[in-house]
Amino acid sequence: MHTAKGSALKQVHNFIAGDYVASDRTFKKYSPITGEHIADIHEADKAQVDAAVRAAQAALNGPWGQMSVQARVAILEKLVDGITRRFDAFLTAECEDTGKPYALARSLDIPRGAANFKVFADLVKDVPGEYFETATPDGRGAINYSVRAPVGVVGVICPWNLPLLLLTWKVGPALACGNTVVVKPSEVTPQTAALLGDVMNEAGVPPGVFNVIHGFGPGSAGEFLTTHPGVDAITFTGETKTGAAIMQAAAIGARPVSLEMGGKNAGLIFADCDFDAAVEGTLRSAFANSGQVCLGTERVYVERPIFDRFVAALKSAAEAMHIGAPQDEATQMGPLVSQEHHAKVLSYFKLARDEGATVVTGGGVPEMPTALKGGYWIQPTIWTGLPEDARVMKEEIFGPCCHIASFDTEEEAIALANDTHYGLSTAIWTRDLARAHRVARQVRVGIAWVNAWYLRDLRTPFGGAKQSGIGREGGVHSLEFYTELKNICIKL
């Protein structure tokens, strides 16, 4: 990832076999903050994707595959140091690509990007196995024990909302387990993935272990990667429709997939909650990262006795949010990531009005200073009054918005939360511990928070139910995807 000579425009290259590689074809990257053209991204053609996969195969069968766990761990720890040492460069790249506030990326995205390597480096140091003594007819017996082997070359397809964090969430365990990877970041957020190539080289990662290819989905790098017969497994985070297409491609060759997909998550606010904490938590879950979080709360259900008070409090808090330039430390919400996504979210804002929603606040584009008018800005938006079968209540919007409805009983709240094709997360707000346990068990999701939101321990399982995904990531659960469990039987 280098700047072209004589130009301020960045050239973001592919990273194959330890080198940055240009392509004959490029596409434009626009700033979500100003709408200006800020970089040219080199789109990998089919031959370059093939070269990346072959480089990964060679590294798997060569130095990386023969390296001891201890040696791999030492390199992963150098990756942590490398990201930390270049913290400001990663911060700038992440915020240029996404438009998110520096304060958010500084406290979450970049530290977690490094921490993901540390967590899995620590994990693989002492992975438990199985050992059995087995009787045999001759009386001499046998022993059986299990070992974990790398699954092979892993295709890693990353989303644009948390580019570095979710990339290393996959690459960290993949490398810790001895795999090699070919990464396709989102076409709208390519910079931190490319920058990571330099850190890999500095840390002593052998060429071919980590490769980055840029491009789009169908007819481009995404399709070339997922259909390549040299890719042994595919991990993906993104929208459900794309995940389904990847699953179809992976069926050829019966290759395993790990899919973390969409969500239409419900927040359940009971009348006995800590009211201020519930408002603050819901504000974050609806509007953090401009609502571009798969775990975000787009459906809020509030017990009737506190409904009006809650709507008024969330409205006041949303209207007090500071929308502005990422560098401004007071900024709480930046723009949406791209012009295309901006148009999509605004189309849902119009649909909500057409379906009969009451717009409590927002619903449009904020007035911004002249220098920022070209960016993809949008207002935090709250609705009430929609029926449960409205499209806005069923389809993932992925923007800074939520609909608030009332409920009367615990059973009704659970039924409302489960009335969706998705099943990623929920946030339950109550002081009643028994109720918290009951409700958390009955809502069909992969993660249920009680009196919290986005509180993560990286050792715990993460993933979704129903159309929100297949498989679990985090801690030892990642090993189930990134390794093959092998039994060795020795006759004594």
Assess contact for 172 and 249: CB atoms under 8 A.
no
What pLDDT does residue 9 have? 86
- Of the candidates 177, 273, 294, 401, the residue annotated as catalytic is 294
Of 94, 96, 260, 298, the catalytic one is: 260
pTM above 0.75, yes or no: yes
Nearest to 166 by CA among 230, 108, 81: 108
pLDDT at 92: 97
Q: What CATH fold (topology level) applies to the domain 2-261+468-491?
A: Aldehyde Dehydrogenase; Chain A, domain 1 (3.40.605)
The CATH superfamily label for domain 265-458 reads: Aldehyde Dehydrogenase; Chain A, domain 2 (3.40.309.10)
The Cα 226–Cα 211 span in angstroms is: 15
Locate the domains of the chain by residue range. Answer: 2-261+468-491, 265-458
- 196-236 residue pLDDT tens: 999 999 999 999 999 999 999 999 999 999 999 999 999 99
**Alpha carbon separation from 90 to 102, 103, 111, 199 (Å, rounded):** 11, 13, 10, 11
Local mean pLDDT, 10-residue blocks, the chain (492 residues): 56 98 98 98 98 98 94 98 98 98 97 97 92 97 96 98 98 98 98 98 98 97 98 96 94 96 97 98 98 97 98 98 96 98 98 98 97 97 98 98 98 98 98 98 98 95 96 94 96 96
Q: Which two three-digit tokens encode residue 106?
A: 């500084």
pLDDT at 1: 55
Question: Is 294 tagged catalytic?
Answer: yes
pLDDT tens digits for range 30-52: 999 999 999 999 999 999 999 99
| Number of alpha carbons in the 13 Å side-chain half-sphere of residue 445 | 28
Within a 10 A sphere around the Cβ of 128, how many other Cβ atoms? 6
pLDDT score recorded for residue 6: 39
Are the C-beta atoms of residues 5 and 32 closer than 8 Å to each other? Answer: no
User: What pLDDT is recorded for position 49?
Assistant: 98
